[in-house]
Amino acid sequence: MELNAIEQIKRFQEFIEGNYYNSLLETARKGSRFLLIDFSELSKYDPDLATELLDAPEETIKAIEKSIEQFDVEGLINFRIRFHNLPATQHIMIRDIRSKHINKLLCIQGLIRQKSDVRPQVTSARFECPMCGNIMNVLQLEGTFKEPSRCGCGRKGKFIMLDKDLVDAQGIVLEEASENLEGGEQPKRFNVLLTNDLVSPLSEKRTSPGSKVEVIGIVKEVPIISKTGGKSTRFDLMMDSNYVKSTQDTFHEITITEEEEKQILEIANDPKGYEKLVNSIAPSIYGYEKIKEALLLQLMGGIRKVRSDNVISRGDFHILLVGDPGAGKSALLKRITTIAPKGRYISGKGVSGAGLTAAVVRDEFLRGWALEAGAMVLSSDGLVCVDELDKMSNEDRAAMHEALENQTVSISKANIQATLIARTTVLAAANPKFGRFDPYGIIAEQIDLPPTLINRFDLIFPIKDLPEETRDEKMAKHILTLHQSPEVNEPEIPTNLLRKYIAYARQKISPRLTDGALEEIKDFYLTMRKSGGSESGIKAIPISARQLEALVRLSEASARARLDDRVTRKDAKKAVELIEYCLSQVGLDKETGKIDIDRIATGIAATQRSHIMVLKEIISELDLKLGKSIPIETVILEAKSRGLDEDKVEEALERLKRSGDVYEPKRGFIGKL
Which three-class secondary structure state does DSSP give residue 669? strand
Pairwise CA distance, residues 110 & 132, whole Å? 52
Do residues 14 and 65 make contact, with C-beta atoms less than 8 angstroms apart?
Answer: no
| pLDDT tens, position by position, 379-436 | 777 888 888 888 888 777 777 888 887 888 888 877 777 777 788 888 888 888 777 7
Give which of 432, 440, 442 is closest to 608, Cα–Cα. Answer: 442
What is the pLDDT averaged over residues 597-610? Answer: 56
Calculate what percentage of the chain has a pLDDT beyond 90: 0
Neighbouring residues of 145: CB distance < 8 A, sequence distance ≥ 6 = 122, 125
Neighbouring residues of 89: CB distance < 8 A, sequence distance ≥ 6 = none
Per-residue pLDDT at 537: 46
- Tell me: pLDDT of 78 over 80: no
Q: Where are the alpha helices (DSSP H) in 56-129?
A: 57-69
**Whole-number average pLDDT of the chain:** 77
- Tell me: pLDDT of 591 over 70: no
- Tell me: pLDDT of 553 over 80: yes
158-167, 317-326, 558-567: the lowest-pLDDT one:
158-167
Per-residue pLDDT at 279: 82
| pLDDT tens, position by position, 95-109 | 888 888 888 888 888
Strand 594-595 vs strand 368-373: parallel, antiparallel, or unpaired? unpaired
Helix, strand and coil in the chain, % to nearest 5:
40, 25, 35
| pLDDT tens, position by position, 334-375 | 888 888 777 788 887 777 777 777 777 776 555 567 677 777
Per-residue pLDDT at 536: 44
- Tell me: pLDDT of 479 over 60: yes
What is the pLDDT averaged over residues 174-183? Answer: 72
Which pLDDT band, with edges at 50, 70 and 90, does 115 fall under? Answer: confident
Q: What is the per-residue DSSP string for 116-150? A: ---EEEEEEEEEE-TTT--EEEEE--SSS----S-
- Tell me: pLDDT of 457 over 60: yes
What is the pLDDT averaged over residues 599-613? Answer: 58
**Is the dihedral angle over the CA atoms 627, 633, 636, 637 positive or is it negative?**
negative
Give which of 61, 158, 172, 46 is closest to 116, Cα–Cα. Answer: 172
Q: For the chain, which domains are there?
A: 5-85 (3.30.1640.10), 89-246 (2.40.50.140), 258-505 (3.40.50.300), 606-672 (1.10.10.10)
- Tell me: pLDDT of 542 over 80: no
Do residues 45 and 15 make contact, with C-beta atoms less than 8 angstroms apart?
Answer: yes
| pLDDT tens, position by position, 630-643 | 777 777 777 777 76
Q: Where are the alpha helices (DSSP H) in 447-485?
A: 451-454, 469-484
Calculate what percentage of the chain has a pLDDT beyond 70: 84
Query: Would you give the distance in Å from CA 414 to the centre of its chain?
Result: 25
Per-residue pLDDT at 538: 46
74-83, 280-289, 591-600: the lowest-pLDDT one:
591-600
Which pLDDT band, with edges at 50, 70 and 90, does 608 fall under? Answer: low
